[in-house]
Amino acid sequence: MTVLLEQPAYKMGERYGQHPDDGKYPGKLIIVEGIDGSGKSTQIDLLGKWLTSQNLVTVFTEWNSSPIVRRTTKKGKVEELLTPMSFSLIHAADFANRVHAQIIPALRAGAVVLADRYVFTAFARDAARGVNREWLRRVYSFAVQPSLALYFKVPLDVSIHRINVGREGLGYYESGQDMGFSTDREESFRIFQGRLLEEYDSLTEEFGLMTIDATQPIAVQQQQVRRYVEPLINGTMNLQGQSVPEALGKHGLSGRYIVPPSRRRLTEQEALAAASSG
């Protein structure tokens, strides 16, 4: 816990120029990272429910969700038009819009911002597609540093099993078939996810991400997450009997900050039940 309180979750600012706004906001930015099937989205959803139960103003932001570029991304994926570099630049544009239009205003207001994927998703995915790592770090050097960065690490076989159970099929880019790893989509997915794991292992060492064993029961992981988060949230915005829209509205923030994650995730009761049965 001492390390969490004394050092930032990662050191991008030290290497690529300190962001002028780092550490100046009353709000907190907490991010989760991990390969597909790591369970990170379930964990951040449970964390959000817990923070809300503590009467804290909590908002979500997700990867590839900016309305400005979402339509372009979808069209490029459907028509399989995206090269590794164009894919990278589109995601950078999406991220830049969310940082300046959503994340920074919410932090400035004092909210707890929960991000399902952050810059490390780009660092891992784009590098796995052959994009220059140093270039990627400079492209994303405008990003504010998170208060806490959590990496949910899971073995490749466990990840693939969870994906096969939970999804009907794999997408072209999701499986990395744009890179020509294999004509078989499942084999291509395995190769691509393996590359992502290697990138995340390297990023964890480089930036000091806090690693959580994502093979543990859901409830055990959530207990760890809350222990890391609890010391960070003192002084963040309290609802004080208001609704989230009312609390945010006083700071000029509107509905885009209160839209919940698009995918339905486990309730806390479901998570505890899953943990006890597993």
Residue 174: give its domain's CATH number. 3.40.50.300
Q: Provide the pLDDT for residue 18.
A: 57
Query: Strand locations in 131-224, DSSP E?
Result: 148-153, 210-213
Looking only at the bridges linking them, the beta strands covering 210-213 and 148-153 are parallel
Q: Percent helix, strand and coil across the chain, each rounded to 5?
A: 55, 10, 35
Half-sphere exposure of 10 (CA within 13 A, CB side): 31
Residue 101 lies in a domain: yes
* Residue 196: both structure tokens together: 């992502």
pLDDT in tens, 215-269: 999 999 999 999 999 999 988 999 888 887 788 888 877 655 544 444 445 555 5
Residue 277 lies in a domain: no
Which candidate, 231, 274, 271, places its Cα nearest to that of 45?
Answer: 271
Low-confidence spans in the chain with pLDDT less than 70:
1-23, 166, 254-278
Q: Taking the chain, what is the end-to-end CA distance rounded to the nearest angstrom?
A: 28
Residue 22 lies in a domain: no
Residue 173 lies in a domain: yes
CB 237 within 8 A of CB 25: no
Residue type present at position 233? I
Residue 258 lies in a domain: yes
Could you say which DSSP state residue 238 is in? B
**Beta partners for residue 31, in sequence order:** 115, 149
**Structural domain count of the chain:** 1
Q: Provide the pLDDT for residue 248.
A: 81
The C-alpha atoms of residue 161 and residue 157 are separated, in whole angstroms, by 6
Which candidate, 99, 87, 203, 199, places its Cα nearest to that of 141?
Answer: 99
Residue 88 lies in a domain: yes
| Full residue range of the structural domain in which residue 74 is found | 2-17+27-272
Residue 167 lies in a domain: yes
Residue 98 lies in a domain: yes
